[in-house]
């Protein structure tokens, strides 16, 4: 992020009504315009965290982020630029039932409209461009998605500072802070499963997420560095199970293991292995890559990959 820019995040929220896909637009009170829900990043927030918070604040909807659908940029007074990151986000029936939205000083009304109507309804060309990106996904049959999130464990104590076995090597103080800092960003994608290497440094990395989400950890040596170095890892089986389940999952592993893990995701989904897959595996400690896949047809390949780093 640059100091001369103002960052914001939001989402194209969608639902199906009687088999027809509808888009949520918001009528803003003060500006008197019609836009896609979005808002500015608060200090210390990640962009995905901002997106889910702003959507809930503006619309009352608690959503999980899906595929990224673009970034808009436009000038502000004072020579600064506003940069807005967008995702798709399905508004489930349960989320709609739980919404507590009432008209207020910021948002006068919410309205569900067709993509066709939204094209002429939205007040700004930048919003229409984001809508067109989403519409292209819909037209290609990619609407409902899930993700496999490849996470590298947080910073561990160096080998020379630990007298025990490598598998029991713990996180450093910085690593503990990193593990706590990524919880809200990971939670923005609403993972349903957490699978981790049985190494202490991996288990400790995802424990804060497990506590916050109530999701029980699944520990396995199949994606551990020890098993990988010994030629006994079974990364293909772990990845295959997650692809077949079609539920968003976090896989926490080690730097040397991640290139193979990412390659197995590509192979399991019929995706040509390219530099972008390799790049997505080159993660710093506590960073993660979100690999988006079609829920209706995972074998259609990777739709998008986004990478996020810890804030500490």
- The whole-number average pLDDT for the span 196-223 is 98
Tell me the whole-structure pTM to 2 decimals: 0.96
pLDDT band at 77 (very low <50, low <70, confident <90, very high): confident
**pLDDT at position 206, please?**
98
**pLDDT at position 3, please?**
63
Checking if the pLDDT of 1 tops 70, the result is no
**pLDDT at position 73, please?**
95
- Helix extents (H) in the chain: 47-59, 93-98, 115-121, 125-139, 173-181, 183-187, 200-213, 225-229, 235-245, 258-268, 275-281
Phi-psi region of 286 (alpha: psi -120 to 50; beta: other; left: phi over 0): left
Q: Note the pLDDT tens digit of each residue in 39-74.
A: 999 999 999 999 999 999 999 999 999 999 999 999
| Cα gap 67→157, rounded to integer Å | 35
Q: Note the pLDDT tens digit of each residue in 118-144.
A: 999 999 999 999 999 999 999 999 999
Selection from 284, 279, 246 nearest residue 263 by Cα: 279
Q: In terms of residues, how long is the chain?
A: 312
**pLDDT at position 229, please?**
97
| Cα gap 95→36, rounded to integer Å | 18
| Cα gap 164→209, rounded to integer Å | 26
Decide: 176 and 206 in contact? Cβ < 8 Å.
Answer: no
**pLDDT at position 2, please?**
62
């Amino acid at each position: 992020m640059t100091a001369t820019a103002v960052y914001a995040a939001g989402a194209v929220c969608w639902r199906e009504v009687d088999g027809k896909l509808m888009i949520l637009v918001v009528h803003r009170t003060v500006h008197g315009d019609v836009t896609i829900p979005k808002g500015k990043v608060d200090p210390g927030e990640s962009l995905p965290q901002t997106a889910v918070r702003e959507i809930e604040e503006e619309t009352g909807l608690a959503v999980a982020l899906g595929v990224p659908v673009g970034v808009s940029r436009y000038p502000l007074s004072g020579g600064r630029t506003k940069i807005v990151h967008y995702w798709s986000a399905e508004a489930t029936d349960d989320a709609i039932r739980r919404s507590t939205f009432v008209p207020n000083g910021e948002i006068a009304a919410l309205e569900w409209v067709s993509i066709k109507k939204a094209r002429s309804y939205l007040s700004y060309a930048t919003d229409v461009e984001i809508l067109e990106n989403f519409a292209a996904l819909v037209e290609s049959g990619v609407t409902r998605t899930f993700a496999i999130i490849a996470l590298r464990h947080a910073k561990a104590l160096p080998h020379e500072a630990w007298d025990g076995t490598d598998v029991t090597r713990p996180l450093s103080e910085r690593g503990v802070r990193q593990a706590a800092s990524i919880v809200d960003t990971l939670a923005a994608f609403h993972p349903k499963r957490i699978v981790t290497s049985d190494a202490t440094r991996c288990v400790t990395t995802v424990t804060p997420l497990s506590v916050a989400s109530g999701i029980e950890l699944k520990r396995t040596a199949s994606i551990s560095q020890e098993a990988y170095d010994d030629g006994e890892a079974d990364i293909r089986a772990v990845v295959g199970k997650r692809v077949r389940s079609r539920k968003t999952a976090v896989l926490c592993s080690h730097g040397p293991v991640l290139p193979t893990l990412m390659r197995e995701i590509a192979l399991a989904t019929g995706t040509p292995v390219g530099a972008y897959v390799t790049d997505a595996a080159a993660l710093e400690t506590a960073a993660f890559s979100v690999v988006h896949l079609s829920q209706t047809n995972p074998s259609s390949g990777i739709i998008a990959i986004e990478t996020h780093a810890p804030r500490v």
